[in-house]
Amino acid sequence: MDLLILRTYDPTGSGTNGDLYLRICHTIELPWLDNMRNHSCIPEGRYELEPRFTTKRKDHFEVLKVPGRDGILVHTANDALTQLRGCIAPVTTLTGPGAGTGSKAALERLNACTAMAFQREQQVYLTIKQQKP
């Protein structure tokens, strides 16, 4: 299964928005700051997702083999600047650069869409590219 994020970089540096395709939801991330740990979104590319569960975050995903980074997750958040440290948050509605609402519902949809692939032990990939106007 392949997933795709098409990003739009905000020129003011406030955040980075994207659309996650199978067009499951939108995404929010930190602005691009040269892949700086805890301050930047991750580089564009193709990454394998792995399902993950913790008591704090419940069902979510880890993004594997991010160059120069580790511990990158796909988890709930509605404000990139205050709730993310380099991770990706699915949201239902975008409300501004790096901001949205309905993150829990969006992550539940993403989990539902990928569940069958993971049950079949298929790899799930996330491709991130810049959205062209």
Q: What is the 3-state secondary structure (H, E, C) of 111-122?
A: HHHHHHHHHCCC
Torsion of CA 73, 89, 122, 37, to 10 degrees: -30
Residue 24's pLDDT is: 87
Sign for the CA dihedral angle at 17, 38, 77, 45 comes to: positive
Residue 28's pLDDT is: 98
Determine how β-strand 124-130 pairs with β-strand 2-9.
Answer: parallel
Q: Per-residue pLDDT for the chain (133 aa), expressed as one digit of tens each?
A: 667 888 999 999 999 999 887 678 999 999 999 999 999 999 999 999 999 999 999 999 999 999 999 999 999 999 999 999 999 999 999 999 999 999 999 999 999 999 999 999 999 999 999 987 6
Residue 133's pLDDT is: 67
pTM above 0.75, yes or no: yes
Residue 1's pLDDT is: 60
Residue 69's pLDDT is: 97
Under a CB-based contact definition with an 8 Å cutoff, are residues 20 and 2 in contact? no
